[in-house]
Amino acid sequence: MNDKPYIPLSRPDIQPEDVEAVAELLRGGAIASDGPATKAAQAALSDAFGIPHVLLVTSATHAMELALMAWGIRPGDEVILPSFTFVSVATAIVRMGATPVFAEIEEPSLALDMADVERRRTPATRAIVLSHYAGIGMDPAPLLGWARRHGVKVFEDAAQCIGARYGDRWLGGLGDAACYSFHYTKNIGCGEGGAFLTADTALARKAEIIREKGTNRQKFLRGEVDKYRWVGEGSSFVLSEIHGALLGSQLQRLEAVTRRRMQLFNRYREALADLEDGRHLRLPFVPPDSQPNGHLFYVLLRDEETRDAMMDDLRARGVGATFHYVPLHSSPYATEHLGTKRGDFPVTESVCERLLRLPLYPAMTDDEAERVVGTFRDVFRQHALRP
């Protein structure tokens, strides 16, 4: 029955020029970190998004750890984050000895519910995570205003958001510090990698020391000191020059990749629009001021049973659909160490039970996109419309 090739959820976009960029670097032998490839990629990101300070790091997770370390987040401090997010946002906080405090999201934005955030604020609240699901920016003004009023730092988790905007601002440029991820599943990828972003010069100076094992090697590289030395706390979050070369090559295709992803995203929206009734099916909510980057396409179905049945059937018919995320507050670690439990965040739980992602990647052909749509419509008729 299934003679057509399986359409995976995503597929890394590696082109011959990427292979050549890495080969050329290796042939040249200049693989020392913070070399020309890293500098060029950092400058390209800084120019493209108007973000003054960009440091390439080993992952978005490490970019967040870098921000929390540079802010001096420590035991006793609390950081507010959605439970509806990727696990390493929470582990970064735990690693500082600080306490992750989950807050509820709201529909249809899937952004933090600011009334719930306010309920969870205490004198120990030091930072909050501004998160954009699917590379779709929601109005950040309420969260940014709240944080400013209460003297709370904003870490913007733009891991999925390179090339997306809200109004005239790029995502990644909204928080006091932010990250992009270059994990191979993201729009621009170099296997593993990330960027730490900030407009705050003092913070960038602290971060560059932490990133380089507590040394002032960056000052040395800029010619500001004649040797570099141990000057503070640190770790090693430096991206290798080899990854930097791959990243630089990928970044040259950012516009083309975003355009293709958005064509597919818009095709799915258009092709499923007639099924959207708010109850059996809800399509991604995109505010008028938001320009997404097509990172992923999701739908919300009626309930978990429908979602799981549809997911199984789609896979059996060659369409790599999947769910996203497992709520953090009801995970084994959180129930054991943070005292949260299933039932605490009903909107988060409902969204996680109903959310289904469909395949989306730049190399997907129009025929494959039509196969996804056709198969989805079949499976939806079969499972979702039962009384």
Shortest CB 194 distance to ligand PLP, Å = 4
Select 160 or 375, whichever has its Cβ closest to ligand PLP. Answer: 160
Question: Cα separations (Å) of 374 from 247, 271, 342?
Answer: 35, 9, 36
Which of 285, 322, 283, 279 lies closest to 302, judged by CA?
279
Select 56 or 209, whichever has its Cβ closest to ligand PLP. Answer: 56
Cα separation of the two ends of the chain? 29
DSSP string computed for 312-328 = HHHHHTTB--B-----S
Question: Cα separations (Å) of 74 from 77, 79, 118, 177, 336?
Answer: 6, 10, 22, 17, 21
Question: Cα separations (Å) of 245 from 47, 193, 226, 249, 258?
Answer: 18, 12, 28, 6, 20
Shortest CB 231 distance to ligand PLP, Å = 27
- Contacts with ligand PLP by CB under 6 A lie at 59-61, 85-86, 88-89, 157, 159-160, 181, 183, 194
Shortest CB 358 distance to ligand PLP, Å = 17
Select 38 or 88, whichever has its Cβ closest to ligand PLP. Answer: 88
Sheet with 297-301: list strands edge to edge.
Answer: 281-282, 297-301, 355-358
Select 294 or 318, whichever has its Cβ closest to ligand PLP. Answer: 294
For 56, the 3-state DSSP assignment is: strand
Find out whether 56 and 36 touch, Cβ atoms under 8 Å. Answer: no
Shortest CB 59 distance to ligand PLP, Å = 3
Shortest CB 9 distance to ligand PLP, Å = 13
For 204, residues 6+ apart whose C-beta sits below 8 A from its C-beta are 52, 53, 55, 198
Shortest CB 276 distance to ligand PLP, Å = 25
Select 61 or 215, whichever has its Cβ closest to ligand PLP. Answer: 61
Shortest CB 178 distance to ligand PLP, Å = 11
Shortest CB 324 distance to ligand PLP, Å = 9
Select 56 or 204, whichever has its Cβ closest to ligand PLP. Answer: 56
Shortest CB 130 distance to ligand PLP, Å = 11
Select 86 or 102, whichever has its Cβ closest to ligand PLP. Answer: 86
Q: Inter-axis angle of helices 60-70 and 87-95, to 10 degrees?
A: 30
SS3 content of the chain, % helix, strand, coil (to 5): 40, 15, 40
Select 132 or 371, whichever has its Cβ closest to ligand PLP. Answer: 132
Select 61 or 330, whichever has its Cβ closest to ligand PLP. Answer: 61
Q: How far apart are CA 125 and CA 105, in angstroms?
A: 18
Which of 105, 95, 106, 153 lies closest to 128, judged by CA?
153
Hey, what are 222's tokens?
């800029």
For 126, the 3-state DSSP assignment is: strand
